[in-house]
Amino acid sequence: MTVMGMTGDEAVAHAAKQSKVDIVAAYPITPQTIIVERFSKYVADGEVHTGYVCVESEHSALSACIGSSLAGARVFTATSSQGLALMHEMMYIASGLRCPIVMGVANRALSAPINIHGDHSDMMGSRDSGWIQIYVENAQEAYDWTVQGFKIAEDKDVQLPVSVNLDGFIITHCMEGVDVLDDGVVSKFLQTRKPLFKLDPKKPVTVGALCFTDYYFEFKRQQVEAFSHVQDVLDRVAKEFKGISGRSYSAIEIYGMEDAEAAVLCLGSTAGTAREVARRLRAQGKKVGVVKIWLYRPFPVDEVKAVLKNVKALAVFDRAISLGAQHGAVCSDVVSALHTVDKSPRIFNIIFGLGGRDVKPSDIEYVFNEALETAKTGVVKQETSFLGVRE
């Protein structure tokens, strides 16, 4: 294992390189560009034997990935924001055709107005497109989950595309030390893709044919069945990955939850700040904790229920807004997961960081104190709050 200085984008590109992908089809967009730019250099320098397809748009990029995946190739792409939105049509086709593509998504706000900074608007807009969704806290996790993503996606019981989501600029462009596995170790971990089915020009078949009321429903039900296997496959892959790296992964990560009366739940880079604030507050004797969601789709219902069973108050952080809905997407999922629990915590929603606005430790400390007050009184002052916005 070697420690290398890498940004989050570079870590994803390096992981894709070591995963020996057969095809990369992509289109540049800030703040994702470095991923495919770096990979194109690997190709130009002869460091990989990968077919690199230059396309005219993100829609075309994912289209090329789908065709390549159906032909049996291991496929990678990356995008962000408006690029992901342009892929939206093809995302449903990739999952519906059971293509185990891995895609790095540099999370960025959607227009309008135009904004190049990080929030989760892009992927939350595609949360029901049938992709496994993983959110990372730092460059190390971006590297680790990209490698694991291929093994999860390609498992015979899954066969679904995976998105590895990293916060724009906060993770994509910040450099840190990343523990990189040896090439041979990654090759042994992943091995060569063994597709259950692949297109063969000598035996032509129709793929994605017209499907009316007679069978469409059954196809969608099969996707649901595939998602039901993801948690077990992820746990198995994570156990094997720990054996080669020493690093532990699962659907969620927790801090201070053994006796927490008040907690926050969040995705991505925010978790690191929340954990540091919780550490300071716990040193003051305050019983607070942090729940970080790694696996957002499929949503880890059982894990969330188990870890929150003794919590009195919970603040759920959403770095995207669901216009016209009572809560943001993550909070809605948490409320849905807990609605049958006898002693569900008092829940309130924090909308924050839209368009890349910084969330400061003092902001999170304020939320923790609100949660502690709610735990004490049992009263939620405001169901949804906008943290750090000028009213």
CA distances (Å), 294 to each of 8, 45, 251, 268, 368, in order?
A: 16, 34, 5, 8, 21
The rounded distance, in Å, linking the Cα atoms of 210 and 366 is 54
Q: Would you state the pLDDT for residue 1? A: 85
* Per-position DSSP letters for 93-127, written without gaps between them: HHHHTT---EEEEEE-PPSSS---S--SHHHHTTT
Rg (CA), the chain: 21
Which structural domains are found in the chain, ordered by start? 2-245 (3.40.50.970), 253-386 (3.40.50.920)
- Residue 76's pLDDT is 98
Kindly state the greatest CA–CA separation across the chain.
71
| 247, 141 contact by CB (below 8 A) | no
- What's the pLDDT at 339? 93
**Residue 295 neighbours by CB under 8 Å, 6+ apart:** 132, 133, 134, 230, 231, 234, 250, 251, 252
Rounded distance, CA 47 to CA 160, Å?
A: 28
> What is the amino acid identity at position 212?
F
> How many Cβ atoms are within 10 Å of 347's Cβ, its own excluded?
21
Q: How high is the mean pLDDT in each 10-residue block of the chain (391 residues)?
A: 96 98 98 98 98 98 98 98 98 98 98 98 97 98 98 98 98 98 98 93 90 96 98 98 98 98 98 98 98 98 97 98 97 96 95 97 98 98 97 87
